[in-house]
């Protein structure tokens, strides 16, 4: 496998860009349970902050919705309605955002590129819920993560929000430890795939303590750091070790079915603290550049290496982790694990994944993947990275060249978790070819469209 391009290469891949200074308008919205949705034209408050989003020539980005809560993953229905799951919203105690369900439904009734009808449904903070990250749409049914459960909502053709109460599909998901979120995908065979992140960084005896060895075997792998598969139609299922589909995935936040080959893919966060916990083996620069973030093709019974192995992009292989006797070079048992299909710069945090299988964007985007990177914290003392959306071309089920940064500038001048203006999380493609991007820093949903460039003909 070819190693990913450097951060410098990735930034340069934007080529000529379109700089759009965007000022967001606050959206007034009410929960479905308490009042009918209102058009956002009634909102008068304006956002004071703005950023310059860089896009390839011909693309434009606009604000579809704003301040909807801690916006995580997103899906788009065949009729263009947009559904966003929100999680532990920072606006829950704010009077500017009304109470209501953590799932937000958005509709653009006048086709001006902005949601003017907004309804909230599903679990509420009043009922003790913290919302969730995962959301999927298949055959007219929404699948939504809510804390330790996966719920189903049947969508009605003429309604924005579901008319019926949720059905409880799966319960008992683990929510303790470092990675409590659960992402979901549904394939054409009616399988529900659920991701479960690890409870620790690298399964050490003492988590994130310098030179603490790794547990062997790593006991949390029974119920963590993998993907589980269930029926997408059978109610009352309960999470357990038996349904584990794939393992060795530290934190697979992005997950989606590729409509071209029908396979399920996931983006995986690589481990942290190689330099911080093992300074005798790694330099600060190596700690910033290792290990790669990855894209994997999920196969039943697949083992992708965590915590015993990590992916080194400089050699294009899985290598043995220092907690298990690795020295930064040794391969050891890692040659028996399943490698990723693509790799990206370390610590960028890939949180969202979608496939572009429609028209609307130029032909070179069809069949490829868009990935949203939430942004790094573990690259210090090197500059932080990510906070962008990249495009990975694919052909015949394989990467067809290096990734390029598609949209950048969301963070603004400070690429730090606490100071970034926006942090991309979810991505979804609509039937008309638009790309939606969510942000959990301010609860923003962006819409990206392509306008064919005019060609000048010289006399």
Contact 207, 201 (CB under 8 A): yes
Q: What CA–CA distance (Å, rounded) separates 12 from 240?
A: 45
User: Do the bridges between strand 167-171 and strand 237-238 make them parallel or antiparallel, or are there none, so unpaired?
Assistant: parallel
DSSP state letters, 424-449: EEEEEE-TTS-EEEEETTTTEEEEEE
Contact 376, 353 (CB under 8 A): no
DSSP character at residue 122: E
Low-confidence ranges of the chain (pLDDT < 50): 1-48, 90-98, 454-459
List Cβ neighbours of 12 (8 Å cut-off, separation of 6 or more): none
Q: What CA–CA distance (Å, rounded) separates 227 from 406?
A: 28
Could you tell me the pTM of the whole model?
A: 0.89
Q: What CA–CA distance (Å, rounded) separates 231 from 437?
A: 29
Q: DSSP alpha helices (H): ranges in 47-164?
A: none
DSSP state letters, 178-246: S-----EEE-TTSEEEEEE--SSSS-BSSTT-TTPPBPSS-GGGGTSSEEEEEESS-TTEE--GGGEEE
Q: What is the pLDDT of residue 87?
A: 87
Q: What is the pLDDT of residue 31?
A: 39
List Cβ neighbours of 330 (8 Å cut-off, separation of 6 or more): 319, 320
Q: What CA–CA distance (Å, rounded) separates 353 from 265?
A: 8
Domain map (residue ranges) of the chain: 7-450
CATH code matching the domain that covers 7-450, chosen among 2.120.10.30, 3.40.50.300, 3.30.1220.10, 1.10.357.10: 2.120.10.30
CB atoms within 10 A of CB 19: 9
Contact 438, 426 (CB under 8 A): yes
Contact 51, 410 (CB under 8 A): yes
Q: What CA–CA distance (Å, rounded) separates 77 from 316?
A: 38
Q: What is the pLDDT of residue 124?
A: 87
Q: What is the pLDDT of residue 51?
A: 85
The SS3 assignment for 142 reads: strand
Q: What is the pLDDT of residue 128?
A: 79
């Amino acid at each position: 496998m070819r190693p990913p391009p450097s951060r410098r290469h990735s930034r340069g891949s934007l080529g000529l860009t379109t700089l759009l200074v965007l000022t967001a308008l606050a959206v007034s919205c009410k929960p479905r349970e308490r009042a009918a949705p209102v058009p956002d034209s009634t909102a008068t408050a304006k956002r004071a902050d703005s950023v310059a989003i860089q896009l390839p020539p011909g693309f434009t980005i606009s604000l579809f919705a704003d301040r909807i809560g801690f916006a995580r993953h997103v899906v788009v229905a065949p009729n263009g309605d947009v559904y966003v799951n929100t999680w532990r919203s920072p606006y829950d105690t704010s009077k500017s955002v009304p109470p209501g369900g953590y799932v937000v439904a958005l509709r653009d009734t006048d086709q001006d590129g902005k949601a003017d009808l907004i309804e909230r449904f599903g679990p509420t903070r009043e009922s003790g819920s913290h919302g969730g990250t995962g959301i999927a749409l298949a055959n007219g049914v929404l699948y939504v993560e809510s804390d330790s459960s996966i719920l189903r909502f049947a969508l009605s053709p003429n309604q924005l929000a579901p008319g019926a109460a949720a059905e409880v599909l799966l319960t008992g998901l683990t929510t303790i430890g470092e990675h409590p979120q659960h992402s979901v995908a549904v394939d054409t065979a009616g399988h529900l795939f659920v991701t479960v992140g690890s409870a620790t960084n690298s399964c050490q005896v003492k988590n994130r303590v310098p030179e603490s060895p790794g547990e062997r075997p790593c006991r949390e792998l029974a119920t963590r750091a993998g993907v589980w598969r269930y029926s997408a139609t059978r109610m009352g299922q309960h999470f357990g070790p038996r349904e584990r589909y794939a393992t060795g995935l530290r934190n697979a936040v992005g997950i989606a079915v590729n409509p071209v080959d029908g396979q399920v893919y996931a983006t995986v966060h690589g481990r942290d603290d190689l330099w911080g916990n093992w300074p005798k083996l790694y330099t600060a620069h190596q700690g910033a550049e290792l290990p790669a973030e990855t894209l994997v093709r999920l196969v039943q019974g697949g083992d992708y290496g965590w915590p015993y192995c990590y992916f080194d992009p400089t050699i294009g292989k899985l290598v043995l982790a220092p907690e298990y006797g690795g020295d930064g070079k040794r391969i050891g048992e890692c040659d028996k694990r399943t490698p990723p299909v693509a790799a990206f710069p370390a610590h960028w945090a890939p949180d969202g994944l979608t496939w572009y299988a429609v028209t609307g964007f130029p032909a070179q985007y069809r069949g490829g993947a868009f990935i949203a990177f939430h942004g790094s914290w573990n690259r210090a003392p090197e500059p932080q990275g990510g906070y962008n959306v990249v495009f990975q071309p694919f052909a015949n089920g394989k990467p067809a060249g290096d990734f390029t940064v598609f949209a950048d500038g969301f963070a603004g001048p400070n690429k730090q978790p606490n100071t970034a203006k926006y942090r991309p999380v979810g991505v979804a493609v609509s039937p008309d070819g638009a790309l939606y991007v969510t942000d959990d820093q301010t609860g923003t949903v962006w819409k990206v469209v392509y306008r064919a460039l005019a060609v000048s003909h010289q006399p």
